[in-house]
């Protein structure tokens, strides 16, 4: 929260989780705010493989976020398009997404084992996937603050440290934290 009573809900998400996780989140979040959605678009069809977590969710007995999570407010796209990533990142995504769309087979394993990204490629990929997207989201938050008392940010958990740091620079302070189990592991 901030002194002007503006509130930002940071909601660390997982792409696949237990249905109760998504149900609990849907009930917990306040209605009526602006929801700044995560979700990279691909308007120029630069990715050659679909990004789907359905196979992994099914194998693990879980559900995909996009199928189970009900957003409580005005949903607004707040992410980048793939064409804003470097060519190296796009190539890396096309290789590492093979198992998501085609499963593990001799072709995908061969392509994965032959791919040898440099340290610079990996650093650039992380900057594209986290850094650039976080900066874009923070600009979106700043633009929505004058129009909304409540902003909800259901983005991947890996984004949260950078987003939290950015909104703290805008004058926000953590009022409350709550833990919710996304994937229950049995002993």
What are 78-106's pLDDT values in tens digits? Answer: 999 999 999 999 999 999 888 877 878 89
Comparing 33 with 55, the larger pLDDT belongs to 33
Digit-coded pLDDT (tens) for 113-148: 999 999 999 999 999 999 999 999 999 999 999 999
Could you tell me which of 110, 143, 141, 127 has the C-alpha nearest to residue 10? 141
Q: Are 136 and 78 in contact (CB under 8 A)?
A: yes
63-64 and 16-17 strand pairing: antiparallel
Q: Are 134 and 167 in contact (CB under 8 A)?
A: no
Helix (H, G, I), strand (E, B) or coil at 35: strand
């Amino acid at each position: 929260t901030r002194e002007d009573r503006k509130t930002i809900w940071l909601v660390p998400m997982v792409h696949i989780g237990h249905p109760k996780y998504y149900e609990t989140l849907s009930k917990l979040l306040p209605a009526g705010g602006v929801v700044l959605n995560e979700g990279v678009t691909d308007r120029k069809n630069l990715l050659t493989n679909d990004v789907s977590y359905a196979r992994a969710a099914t194998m693990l007995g879980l559900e995909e976020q996009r199928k189970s999570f009900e957003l409580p407010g005005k949903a607004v796209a707040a992410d980048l398009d793939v064409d804003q990533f470097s060519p190296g990142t796009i190539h890396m995504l096309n290789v590492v997404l093979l198992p998501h769309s085609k499963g593990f087979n001799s072709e995908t394993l061969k392509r994965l084992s032959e791919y040898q990204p440099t340290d610079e490629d990996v650093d650039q990929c992380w900057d594209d996937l986290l850094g650039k997207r976080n900066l874009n989201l923070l600009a979106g938050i700043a633009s929505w603050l004058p129009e909304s008392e409540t902003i909800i940010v259901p983005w991947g958990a890996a984004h949260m440290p950078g987003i939290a740091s950015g909104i703290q620079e805008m004058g926000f302070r953590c009022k409350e934290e709550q833990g919710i189990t996304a994937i229950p592991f049995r002993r």
